Structure 1
Amino acid sequence: MGFVGNESDPQLLSKIATNNGHGEDSHYFDGWKAYDRDPYHPSKNPNGVIQMGLSENKLCHDLTEEWIVENPKASICTSEGVNGFKDIANYQDYHGLPQFRNAVAKFMGKIRGGKVAFDPERIVMSGGATGAGETIMFCLANPGEAFLIPSPYYPAFDRDLRWRTGVQLIPVNCESSNDFKITKECIEAAWENAQKENIRVKGLIMANPSNPLGTVLDRDTLKDLVAFVNEKQIHLVCDEIYSATTFSSAAFVSVAEVIATIDGCNLDLIHIIYSLSKDMGLPGFRVGIVYSYNDAVVSCARKMSSFGLVSSQTQYLLAAMLSDDAFVDRFLAESSKRLAKRHKLFTEGLAKVGISCLKSCAGLFVWMDLRHLLQQPTPEAELALWRLIINDVKINVSPGSSFHCSEPGWFRVCFANIDEETVEIALERIKAFVRRVTEKTSKMKRKQWQSNLQLSLKSRRFEESVMSPHGLISPCSPIPQSPLVKATT
């Protein structure tokens, strides 16, 4: 007789296993599920859902494939590279292969314009940026303690940073009136509110470039943030995983560059999260990096990295790839060029139907403004519009509320995970949808105008029929005027 368990009994499982802290009930993930149930395919399922909710960079896979073909010795899984198998397949030091850490440090410096150097001894591996973010939270905060985080922010931060660590995230509300820029005032306000609630704030975490905004922080804002954490003696964690996805003259500035110019900065408070998922388009390789200027954090994170190491086979391949200067230079230049072209294609297509996006210069997505299509400026109306887009337009976009955006009507749309033909199809679907909504809205407005006009005329006729007690219009009463007469003057 087999064992029969009662999975609904919470006493059989841990609190982590039975709580909903993973965030799978978020509308962000609901969109993915809708795509999984009915995925678009140009021939097999042309009416399926187009996936534009996944921040994935597929625009330069051809360059990476060419390099792999031309460098078979870089892999222990080829006849040319199999001689390295016995050395790489064995247990490796969880510090990481020296050549891998050297290559990553060099690459991180290169994509920051060579303005700052990174120490390979501070490179700590993790299973993607997800693992890196959780690792740094474990190192810096206890359960119940909090990090301030500017919103809108990446929805899966709630899973990555909170679920297993017990750390709180306190949104710092940024607004569209200044293009969602982070200000000293909004940071201070969030800090003061936390103090009133007796919440211990251990740090500030933010993504630069921003996900979902696609904007970069300017040097002065970064200096203000560094000054803030130094004043409060709390940590600053900078997620810089989109640092090589910039595609305009607004150059990315790393916090590593800024702290080198600030006298008296406490470097023990500064930490960087990085990965190769976005810049190199390699999320499946699960390469995450914690880079900290704090020796104790590096030591602790390295011990914890044994729970999420990057495979030695992957390290071996990437060490060779990232050490190839000619390839890296070509890849970064071409990636920027292709991202700019795709961004232009998509935003100009949206503009043709009156849809604007927040001005951006980085990332694999745009922050699309659909506030004018909402029935009402409420979160409920935003979700109603989102469901229409998912179910009727058959495009998975992510609603702003899932990014903790305080203003309804904004949506993140990813453009680098699909080919150009699919982008064009998505644009045609959006155009058709906007036309339907516009026509429906116009009809409703005309109907309402006609209804209001009829009510107005009835009201006027009633007023004109009102007589004095003697059955005549009072000589002191003003002569009634038709609204149509007034309109012609």
Structure 2
Amino acid sequence: MEYTLSKIATNDGHGENSAFFDGWKAYDSDPYHPTKNPNGVIQMGLAENQLSFDLVQEWVKKNPKASICTNEGVDDFKEIAIFQDYHGLPEFRNAVARFMERVRGNRVRFDPNRIVMSGGATGAQETLAFCLADSGDALLVPTPYYPGNDRDLTWRTGIQLLPVVCESSTGFKITREALETAYKKAQDSNIKVKGLLLNNPSNPLGTTIDKQTLTESLTFTNEKQIHLICDEIYSATVFDQPGFTSIAEIFEENPKSYNPNLIHIVYSLSKDLGFPGFRVGIIYSYNDTVTNCARKMSSFGLVSTQTQHLIASMLSDDEFVDRFIPESAKRLAKRHEILTRGLAQVGIGSLKSNAGLFCWMDLRRLLKEATFEAEAELWRMIIEDVKINVSPGAPFHCSEPGWFRVCFANMDDEAVRVAINRIHEFVMIVQTKKQRYIRRGKLEVSLSFRRLDEIMMGSMKMSSPHSPMSSPLVRAMT
């Protein structure tokens, strides 16, 4: 007997048929391990912040009472286990509001009564989409943007995401012209635009949106009377100047100039603290109706009270927070420098960035031609031969082929070193093949074993202490 499932359940709205998710699958089937699988795939496609776990672990050991699953905290077990108010624990909402303020340099204030819980930023995004738009309506989103938005915001809501095309010539900056062009294109297609979604700091660019651009964006949405959603989940990952400016600051500086009912913030602890498994997402809206509606809908993805209890205790510890935020930024800056310097050694550039857990790598000169087909071919070589999972620009809706997102905070120093060495080897091979292609006028030229060995020996002398023939890239290419 054949069972018919719903169209929503069986459509491809999750987006797993993209290179963004295919890279994860390649890693899952052959994960790198320094001793057990040294030639496996290195995961550089996952934006996780694992560089400061020792600080968190140290705090947990010193504060056993923060958990109801310890001898010191078990007396609170019953009260926490049975508490299921949609509003969340008061101490949790207070702690999160204060933490958001401190990340923003105490330049703004957040009302704990507007803090709405959700199961991670994913749930927060979808809940806001349900509150603000009907099926068929659209949100404008500057490119390149996080591929998960195509799943989180559209799969079950039925809304559309329309790209606001940003270009490398301006550092992918959002311009009023680009916003107006996207808005007019939607109007011409009879698509109702309900809002603009900004990601600040940007995933995948690793850049903060400057104050002027935020002001222009807010002015644009206010004039069009559409919503502005600011995804600020990377706000505490800023490691260089310019610093982070929240949309809350723009609004609070001139509150009478903008309609507060159109301004909403998404936040979580997944990136700033490195707690994606805790599923702590936050909706902060200046719109009372949205706040009330989102709180009712939060019953589909509440944060467990056990997690709330622990987080409230941790974020209320001023000494811990004052230490964690700058130390995390310091470690992210160091890792970012190691990666970008390693790329630069073989002539690979990246967008100048100051935040996030990734860099936006420029491999345009390694493409056979300036097409997304050539980008996909290059990406397959990196996955299959170099054995590194990086994410190509196409799933991010980048307007130009050849850009790749590289995550650097989800691994230890040794894995980063190995990854950089593999990239060095790969670039040497591609450059040599391209030079021979130019000389001979052929699309594909195979290197002999002897010539390849010579190239790799030279490359490894510059960048790696390991034998070149132990590299998965060399074996694959030969």
Length-normalised TM-score, structure 1: 0.89
**Greater Cα offset, 87-96 or 377-386:** 87-96
Tell me the distance in 2 between the aligned counterparts of 1:361 and 1:44. 35
Match of 1:85 in 2: 77
Match of 1:384 among 377, 384, 404: 377
1:433-478 CA-partner distances (Å, limit 9, x unpaired): 00011111122222239xxxxxxxxxxxxxxxxxxxxxxxxxxxxx
Q: Which amino acid aligns with 1:413?
A: V
Tell me how far apart the structure 2 counterparts of residues 223 and 91 of structure 1 sit (CA, whole Å).
Answer: 41
Partner of 2:386: 393
Deviation at 1:214, TM superposition (A): 0.5
**Residue equivalent to 1:243:** 235
Compute the displacement of 1:261 (Å). 1.7
Correspondence for 1:62: 54
State whether structure 2 residue 250 is matched by structure 1 residue 258.
Answer: yes
Is residue 271 from structure 1 mapped to residue 271 from structure 2 by the alignment?
no
Match of 2:364 in 1: 371
Matched, 1:329 2:325: no
Aligned to 1:182: 174
Letter in 1 for 2:351: L
Residue aligned with 2:153, SS: helix
- Output one character per residue of 1:89-146: Cα deviation in whole Å (capped at 9) or x when no partner: 1132111000000000000000000000100000000000000000000000000000
Q: Which residue is 1:458 aligned to?
A: none
Aligned residue in 1 for 2:120: 128
> Secondary structure of 1:23's match?
coil
| Counterparts of 1:166 and 1:271, CA distance in 2 | 20
AA partner of residue 232 (structure 2): E
Q: Which residue of structure 1 aligns with residue 418 of structure 2?
A: 425
Per the TM alignment, residue 301 of structure 1 is displaced from its structure 2 partner at its CA by 0.2
Shifted more, 433-442 versus 423-432: the winner is 433-442
Within 5 A, what are the aligned runs for 1:282-293? 282-293=275-286
Amino acid at match of 1:45: N
Q: Aligned partners of 2:12 and 2:100: how far apart in 1?
A: 36
Cα deviation, 1:242-297, whole Å, max 9, x if unaligned, reads 00000012100000000112232100000000000000000000000000000000
- Greater shift after overlay, 110-119 or 257-266? 257-266
SS of equivalent to 1:16: helix
Segments of 5+ residues of structure 1 without an aligned counterpart are 450-489
| Cα shift readout 1:182-205 (whole Å, capped 9, x = no counterpart) | 000000000000010000000000
For the pair shown, the structure with the greater C-alpha radius of gyration is 1
CA offsets per residue over residues 173-226 of structure 1, 9 Å max, x none?
Answer: 100010000000000000000010000000000100000001111111111111
In the aligned structure 2, how far is the partner of 1:209 from the partner of 1:249? 12
Given candidates 221, 240, 264, the residue that maps to 1:229 is 221
TM-score by length of structure 2 reads 0.91
Partner of 1:36: 28
One-letter amino acid matched to 2:409: A
Distance 1:18 1:284 in 2: 26
Between the aligned partners of 2:276 and 2:223, the Cα distance in structure 1 is 36
**AA paired with 2:367?**
L
Which one of the candidate residues 161, 183, 194 is aligned to 1:191? Answer: 183
What displacement does 1:415 show?
0.1
Task: State which of 102, 112, 116 in structure 2 corresponds to 1:110.
Answer: 102
Report which stretch shifted further, 440-449 or 14-23: 440-449
Matches within 5 A, 1:320-359: 320-359=313-352
The CA deviation at 1:406 is 1.0
Count of matched residue positions in the alignment of Structure 1 and Structure 2 = 441
Percentage of pairs with the same residue: 66
**1:161 aligned residue:** 153
Tell me, what secondary structure is at the counterpart of 2:230? strand
Superposed, 1:14-29 pairs within 5 Å as: 14-29=6-21
SS of corresponding position for 2:237: coil
**Higher deviation after alignment, 257-266 or 410-419:** 257-266
Aligned pair 1:50/2:42, yes or no? yes
For 1:144, which of 136, 140, 150 is the aligned residue? Answer: 136
Q: Counterpart of 1:298?
A: 291
Report the Cα offset of residue 43 of structure 1.
0.7
Structure 2 residues without counterparts, runs of 5 or longer: 443-478
Separation in 2, partners of 1:323, 1:345: 33
In the alignment, is residue 309 of structure 1 matched against residue 305 of structure 2? Answer: no
One-letter amino acid of the counterpart of residue 331, structure 1: F
Taking the aligned partners of 2:91 and 2:438, their CA distance within structure 1 comes to 67
1:130 partner amino acid = T
Q: Deviations over 1:282-316 (max 9, x none)?
A: 00000000000000000000000010000000000
Counterpart in the other structure of 2:453: none
Alpha-carbon distance between aligned partners in 2 of 1:445 and 1:172, rounded to the nearest angstrom: 37
